[in-house]
Each structure stands twice: as structure tokens, then as C-alpha cells.
């Protein structure tokens, strides 16, 4: 599992911050869990939440870009499961590059909670389901909020 070496960031003081959370509807059992866990994590950290949904992973980036103009941090959640065609590779690469570009172009942290798995079982194991080894909705939110706090601190120091 890819969670080996995960830093022990359990919470972030995100009082006064707003996080935009956009989640795909495709693979609903997985994405609904990612979405709710992202919202729960943000609220536990004291951040305000703007939440929205899109159909699939390819639609995440344009909404994440819009959220980045109004939020201190953005989280994009989705689930792409490999099929029998190269479409999986194109979608995964496109989404990753787009989310990275949005963060760099806007200076707003974007947490990548898009699961890219070979099987549904792997997605369940990364989605924060009961007994799951990872909770990527929560982890992506904590990472984005931690980065937003760090950027705010740097702005005060520089």
C-alpha cells in the first residue's frame, strides 16, 4: 500500500481558512466516502467548507481551478479504476498534471485525493472504509490545509 511513510499529521489549526472540496460522482461508493471524510477533516480543523460534485475525474480540474480563486486550499477527490484500455493512463496523467498546474499557477494548495487503482478492492482500502489502511479524502485535506497554513506563515515572515 502506498501509505508507507505517511507523516503523522492528525490535525491542522485552520481557523479562518476556507477549503473548496470537489469530488467526482463516478465510483460513488468510493467517492462519497472520500468526499465526506474530506469535509469532516476540514471541519475538525476549523476550516470553512465549500463543497461541490462533478461527474468524473476529468471534470475535477476546471472546478478546482475556480475554487482556487475563492479558497485558501482546494481538495479534489475521485476514483479511477484501471480497465482494459489505455484510457486509465490518459485520465490519471491528465488529472495529476492539471491539479499540479492549478496549484502552481494560483499559489493555492491543491490536495490530490484522486485514487488511481487497479481494482475496486484497492480503492476501498485507500478510501477510509472501516478497516482500511488509508483515508485519502482526509489525508488530502490535511495536506492542503497544512500547506495553506505554511504559506500564510511564510507570507508573514517574508
Domain spans, the chain: 18-156
Closest C-alpha to 150, from 17, 50, 41, 46: 17
Tell me the torsion sign for CA atoms 64, 70, 74, 78. negative
Query: What is the C-alpha to C-alpha distance for residues 70 and 124, in angstroms, rounded to an integer?
Result: 31
| Residue-level pLDDT at 116 | 96
Query: What is the C-alpha to C-alpha distance for residues 87 and 155, in angstroms, rounded to an integer?
Result: 41
| Residue-level pLDDT at 2 | 54
Q: What separation in angstroms does the CA of 61 have from each of 7, 53, 149, 155?
A: 26, 12, 22, 26
- CB proximity list for 20: less than 8 A, separation 6 or greater: 49, 50, 51, 52, 64, 67, 68, 70, 71, 73, 74, 75
Q: What separation in angstroms does the CA of 40 have from each of 16, 137, 151?
A: 16, 9, 23
Query: What is the C-alpha to C-alpha distance for residues 73 and 100, in angstroms, rounded to an integer?
Result: 13
The binding site for (2S)-2-hydroxy-3-oxobutyl phosphate comprises 84-85, 126
Give the pLDDT of the chain (158 residues) as one tens digit per residue: 455 655 666 789 999 999 999 999 999 999 999 999 999 999 999 999 999 999 999 999 999 999 999 999 999 999 999 987 888 899 999 999 999 999 999 999 999 999 999 999 999 999 999 999 999 999 999 999 999 999 999 999 99
Whether 87 is catalytic: yes
| Residue-level pLDDT at 11 | 85
The binding site for 5-amino-6-(D-ribitylamino)uracil comprises 26, 57-59, 79-81, 112
Q: Which CATH class is domain 18-156?
A: alpha beta
Query: What is the C-alpha to C-alpha distance for residues 154 and 109, in angstroms, rounded to an integer?
Result: 14
Query: What is the C-alpha to C-alpha distance for residues 65 and 60, in angstroms, rounded to an integer?
Result: 9
Query: Would you give the end-to-end CA distance of the chain in angstroms?
Result: 39
The binding site comprises 26, 57-59, 79-81, 84-85, 112, 126
| Residue-level pLDDT at 154 | 96
Query: What is the C-alpha to C-alpha distance for residues 61 and 101, in angstroms, rounded to an integer?
Result: 9
* pTM of the entire predicted model: 0.94
Q: Active site residue: 35, 37, 70, 87, which one?
A: 87
Amino acid at each position: 500500500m502506498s501509505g508507507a511513510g505517511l507523516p503523522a499529521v492528525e490535525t491542522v489549526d485552520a481557523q479562518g481558512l476556507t477549503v473548496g472540496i470537489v469530488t467526482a460522482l463516478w465510483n460513488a461508493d468510493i467517492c462519497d466516502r472520500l468526499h465526506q471524510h474530506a469535509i469532516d477533516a476540514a471541519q475538525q480543523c476549523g476550516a470553512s467548507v465549500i463543497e461541490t460534485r462533478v461527474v468524473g475525474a476529468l471534470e475535477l480540474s476546471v472546478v478546482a481551478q475556480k475554487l482556487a480563486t475563492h479558497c485558501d486550499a482546494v481538495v479534489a477527490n475521485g476514483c479511477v479504476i484501471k480497465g482494459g484500455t489505455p484510457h486509465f493512463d490518459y485520465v490519471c496523467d491528465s488529472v495529476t498534471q492539471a491539479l499540479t498546474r492549478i496549484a502552481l499557477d494560483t499559489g493555492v494548495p491543491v490536495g490530490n485525493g484522486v485514487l488511481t487503482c487497479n481494482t475496486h478492492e484497492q480503492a476501498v482500502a485507500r478510501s477510509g472504509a472501516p478497516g482500511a489502511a488509508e483515508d485519502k479524502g482526509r489525508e488530502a485535506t490535511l495536506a492542503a490545509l497544512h500547506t495553506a497554513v505554511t504559506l500564510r506563515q511564510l507570507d508573514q515572515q517574508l
